[in-house]
Chain A
């Protein structure tokens, strides 16, 4: 059974520092991996989707890398801002089910202090 782990569970950084968020998964047979942001009491906002054949995806200050063979993905947020404060979740979709049934990590709660 796929297990998705996100370490650390919480992170606090001063504004301007780069953020590094980790996601690991036990079964490397994945179809793709998606990063989300969740604000308190709200739904999830999609950030980046990386297909299993890709090494990284970039969008603005966000960059996500994927090392499928070692079961790891990293989300980098450059020059953090207080508005980046949120919980960040990663989710993997199994290779055998391209339609869904993502397995989610528990998330990393990020606080960016002014």
Chain B
């Protein structure tokens, strides 16, 4: 099973600033996924990140707000740009080693925007 290290684990940020979240996987995964979990709610997919190509964003999420990098098969970053209090959430990265295999998650980043 894959282990995903995610950092930071939590942060408190000021309105208008940006935060970059990093995820490092201990093995190669073809697809990585970024989710948001707002307080008391389930997970919402932000985007799918494939190595060497631009991320694919879900409806309601745009690249200017949530730029994603995926430079290789073991690493990805998500930036939350120009933050507002509405961006306060848990952000989660995940990956799957192959089609139909288990989805593994990082430990999450709890973001609070003041």
Contacts and interface: CB of A to CB of B under 8 A. Distances in A.
Interface of A: 31-32, 34, 36, 41-46, 49, 51, 89, 91, 93, 98-102, 104-107
Interface in B4-32: 4, 6, 10, 30-31
Contacts of B65: none
B1 A46 contact: yes
B31 A43 contact: no
B107 A99 contact: no
B57 interface: no
Contacts of A89: 42-43
Interface residues of B, number: 27
Contacts, number: 58
Contact of A31 (B90, B100, B104, B107): B100
B30 A99 contact: yes
Contact of B107 (A42, A91, A101): A42
Contact of A34 (B10, B33, B103, B107): B103
B108 A42 contact: yes
Nearest to A4: B42
